[in-house]
Amino acid sequence: MTEVPLLVLAKITAILDAFTLEQPSMTAADIRRATGIPASTAHRLLGNLVEHGFLDRSGDAYAIGARMAFWAGPAVRARALGDLLPPQLAALRDTTGETACFFIPERGARVCVGVAETLHGLKRAMYVGRIQPLHVGSAGRVILAWRDDLLEEVLATPLAALTGSTITDPDALRAVVARTRADGYAITAGERVEAASGVSAPVFDAHGELAGALTVMGPTLRLTDERCAALIDDVVGAADRLTASIGGRRVA
């Protein structure tokens, strides 16, 4: 009996999705266990995928084919992070009602490379190109949580107190960074500027490496502890969608 094309496509997608950065090479048995596809069907599909360049085969091991990278190139280039940021930030701003920003690490600091400002009259000013320290704020916390090299650089120098809430003890900063990594997001209040709060989550590139931190920020008057907690799902969800849009993979 001939399989329905959409069902075949779903099985092919399941096979390709089984490959990860942690497991880039798999045997047929590995693929069957990961997908639940019957042996005869898996054997036929794997043969077809190798024949058409979706997969490469070396002995008993299969891997994503080089032809896939050729196809992915135009898509990644056309959907570069810079092109995707404005609509994603605007959507997050509209969902939360607060300013949405995107920060990347640069020369031992973090730089805002995208912003969609809140429509509220009371707001914390942010603009593209603004440089801020890594040891303060939720975006800095996220960057340090997924960039061990930057964390060690920051901890090797004195931690300047910008407000009374700035963490200046290296052990304390290391502990909250570890908590951020475990939680998958960061919430801070008053660390860089008094009466300002933020919620941030990581965005990852195609190599599973940190691309930057997606942030919602605003005055603590509106972004209370309870409000920040309520925004976690919105921010993490938006970060995951941005990760997917650039062909990235979220890592723990």
Residues 6+ apart with CB under 8 A from 7: none
Q: What is the pLDDT of residues 23-71, one digit of tens each?
A: 889 999 999 999 999 999 999 999 999 999 899 999 999 998 877 766 6
Q: What is the pLDDT of residues 193-252, one digit of tens each?
A: 999 999 999 999 888 899 999 999 999 999 999 999 999 999 999 999 999 888 888 776
Q: CB under 8 Å, gap of 24 or more: what pairs does 113-120 form?
A: 113/82, 113/85, 113/212, 114/82, 114/85, 114/86, 114/89, 115/89, 116/86, 116/89, 116/90, 116/92, 117/93, 118/93, 118/218, 120/218, 120/222
Tokens 């603004």 belong to 130
Q: Is the pLDDT of residue 78 over 60?
A: no
Distance CA 43, CA 195 (A): 61
Q: Which domains does the chain have, with CATH numbers?
A: 5-73 (1.10.10.10), 79-245 (3.30.450.40)
Q: Is the pLDDT of residue 170 over 80?
A: yes
* DSSP one-letter string for 40-58: HHHHHHHHHHHHTTSEEEE
Q: Is the pLDDT of residue 89 over 60?
A: yes
In 145-240, beta strands by DSSP E: 186-189, 196-204, 210-219
Q: What is the pLDDT of residues 126-142, one digit of tens each?
A: 888 888 999 999 999 99
Residue 1 confidence class, pLDDT cut points 50, 70, 90: very low
Of how many residues is the chain composed?
Answer: 252
Q: What pLDDT does residue 184 have? A: 96
Mean pLDDT on 4-11:
79
